[in-house]
Structures are given as structure tokens and as C-alpha cells.
Amino acid sequence: MTLENPETVPLSPLVAAQHRAMPFTRLVDCGMDHADARRLLSDTAGGMPWEESATLLADTQLERARIAEEAGHLTTARDAYRYASASLMFAQMAHQTDTPVKRELYARHTTATASAAALAAPHTSRIERVEIPYREGVLGGWLCLPPTGPARGTVIVWGGLSGWGAAYLRVADAYTARGLGCLLAEGPGQGESRLSHGLYFDEKVTEGFARFVDLVEADSRLEGATGVQGISFGGLFAAHLAAADPRVAAVVVNGAPAAPGIPEFRTARAQISAAVGTEDLDRVAEVMASLRFDPDRHRIARPLLLLHGGRDPLARYEDQEPFLQAADPATAVLRIWPDGEHTQYNHAAERDAFTADWFTDHLIDHDDPNRWE
């Protein structure tokens, strides 16, 4: 029996924290099927462990995908693989530290995403896995191309402390529908780059994210200018890269702290420690201090779009204001949703359309006869 409204049921502290961190709006924003998202919240409110419910939902979608693929229904199969990918992304979020189970779940997420990418479907983006040698490891990501032809501009998108890479396939869909390419990056401290290759946040983390710009510039299918978008904590890295790298033509920051520190709450501390690769809080504090964005030292000469949600419990307006202070007022845009949750989960469709149109205006040559509207 499933519960229709899990919010009315008293929840254990652990489950309540999971529901706050991964509400329905976020689950759907990052690609889960609506029914699966409701089932996950209902199951966990009823006592089923988060990881178990999310994994079972993924397994069901993988079976749907297999049956559809064998029957030649490739669009259905592709969608089901993507739903499975999203469920596995959220399954691994039950683990704040890099346990073997977290690594296994994330590897399964990557495999499900690759299965979706391998299936061509009409009028949908083309998706490829990319890997970039970096230091002693590999940076990973997903390159999403428009359904036909070259990209007329490209946006590199990355997440923050817990949601990475293919969690933002729906963001990529909005961009590829407008003729833009979108590279969903797993930078240092994120995704397979961290879990499989031991690459972490450090004082030079921006250099790692710059490698994705190198990849875009080297791909002849990616025409036009390059923008970057950082979501949640990743917005900090987007701002730093835009300030440091003249190849970045435009930047979006969404829900990021300009002055990161060690969080008060244990789970958030565990997430940041895992991203830095150490439980030594003194070392974590050193790295966070080095990443502070100072508008007097870090100037953003390119157009900036800053997104803010009035109900964001993780990034207050004053936490993000230094990014605006670093930008040229003539080319900086602030978009606020008064009721917006963290990174505007609850306004995802409007948010993605707004940012996609903004990047289209700034990255695509307006005189290009092939410019998409």
C-alpha cells in the first residue's frame, strides 16, 4: 500500500532530511518519471530505505527499456533508460561519502545513461560520452548535440555537491532544441571523475573545469561561442572560470555561495569533505577559503545571468550578490523567482527556457542564416 501524501506522515529525522534535500520538484527536475518520484517519497515515508526504493524503481524502468528496445520501440526505450538513470542518480545520493555501494550505484547510472545515448530517436538530441585525461585520472561528461547539424554555440553545464552530469539532461534538452550544444560535465569532485578516478576539489579546481572548454574548442561540430552554467555549488566554479578564462563568452550562476565554508549540518559537511577527498576539516577549510569569490579580485567581463529563488534555504541573495558585483552592470541580468526553491526546482521549465533563450542571444551569431529561433 502506498501513501498518497507522505508529507502528512511523521517522518524519522533521516527520512525527513532526505525529503528536504530531494523533494518531488527536484526529483522531476533531474529527470525522474513523475509517478516514480511520488512512489519514492511514498515508499520512504512508509519505511522503505531510500536507496532500496530508488533502485527498485530504476530496475523496473530498465526492464521497460529492455522490452521496448527488443520490440523496436526505440523512443520508449530511450525514455525508460533516462528514467532509470535519474532514479539511480538519486539512489546514490543516499550515501554522502564514497562507499563501495555509492560507486556501484553511480556506475549503474552511467551505464543506463549510455544505453539511452546509444539509441537514436527522431527529433531528439544526440548524446555521446566524453572523457578527458586530467592529472592522474579522467574527467567525464556527456556531450549533447542538436538533432541535426552542428551546434551554433555550446553551453558547458555542471552541478554541485550531489547532482552531476546526466542529472541535467533536461537542461540539455532545452539547449539542443534551440540549436545549441550542451556538455554536461563531471568536474573534479563530481561523478565518475571523483568516484572512479580520484579527482577532487582543490585550490586549482578551476583548471579542471577549463579542460571542458578545451574539448569544446577542439570539436569542429561545436561552432559559435562557448558559455558556462554552474548549478548549486557549481555556480561558484562557473563564476571563477568566467573571471579567469577569456574563452567563456557568457555565464549563468544558479544558487551558489560566493564565500563557501564548512556547513553546520553533518550531512552537508560530509558532502563537502567527500568532494575535497578528506575528512580533515582543517584541510577542507583551506580549500573552501581558497575558493572564495572576491568581486574586487575576480572580475567577470562577460555577460552574467544570476538566478535566485526567494525560498532557497541554501543560497541567500546576499550569498550570491558578489557575483553581480563582479560583473559589468550593463551586461549583468538578475532573475528572481520569489517562491523559487533551491536552483528553482519548482520553476524548471520556465527556468530552462529562460536560460536557453539567454544563451541563444549571447552565443549564436545573429547574422547566421542557420540560426534557430
Q: Is residue 4 part of a domain?
A: no
Same domain, 13 and 140: no
123 confidence band (pLDDT: 50, 70, 90): confident
Distance CA(211)–CA(206), nearest Å, equals 9
Residue 158's closest CA among 298, 256, 224? Answer: 256
Residue corresponding to grid cell 575535497? 276
Coil, strand, or helix at residue 6? helix
Which residue(s) pair with 145 in the sheet? 126
Q: Is residue 145 part of a domain?
A: yes
Helix or strand run (H / E) with residue 336: strand 332-337
Same domain, 289 and 149: yes
C-beta separation of 188 from 194 below 8 A: yes
**Domain edge (last residue) among 81, 98, 122:** 122
Tens digits of residue pLDDT in 16-41: 999 999 999 999 999 999 999 999 99
**How many other CB atoms are found less than 10 A from the CB of residue 330?**
6
Across the chain, what does the average pLDDT equal?
95
Q: What is the 3-state secondary structure (H, E, C) of 131-182?
A: EEEECCEEEEEEEEECCCCCECCEEEEECCCCCCHHHHHHHHHHHHCCCCEE
Same domain, 136 and 59: no
Average pLDDT over residues 237-254: 99
Cell of 335: 532573475
pTM of the model: 0.94
Domain count, the chain: 2
**Domain edge (last residue) among 84, 105, 122:** 122
Q: Is residue 214 part of a domain?
A: yes
Same domain, 101 and 162: no
Same domain, 117 and 14: yes
Coil, strand, or helix at residue 213? helix
Tens digits of residue pLDDT in 352-372: 999 999 999 999 975 555 554
C-beta separation of 215 from 236 below 8 A: no
Same domain, 142 and 100: no
CATH of the domain at 331: 3.40.50.1820
Same domain, 245 and 104: no
Average pLDDT over residues 38-57: 98
Same domain, 264 and 146: yes
Average pLDDT over residues 258-264: 91
Of the chain, the percentage scoring pLDDT greater than 90 comes to 91
Same domain, 254 and 296: yes
Q: How many CA atoms lie within 13 A of 295 on its CB side?
A: 13
C-alpha triplet 31, 33, 36: angle, nearest 5°? 125
Range of the domain at 169: 124-373
Query: In this predicted structure, which of 88-97, 173-182, 213-222, 265-274 has the lowest mean pLDDT?
Result: 265-274
Distance CA(157)–CA(83), nearest Å, equals 20
CATH of the domain at 56: 1.20.1440.110
Q: Is residue 1 part of a domain?
A: no
Please, which residues have CB within 8 angstroms of residue 323's CB and are 6 or more apart in sequence? 235, 239, 253, 256, 258, 293, 295, 300, 304, 306
Same domain, 23 and 111: yes
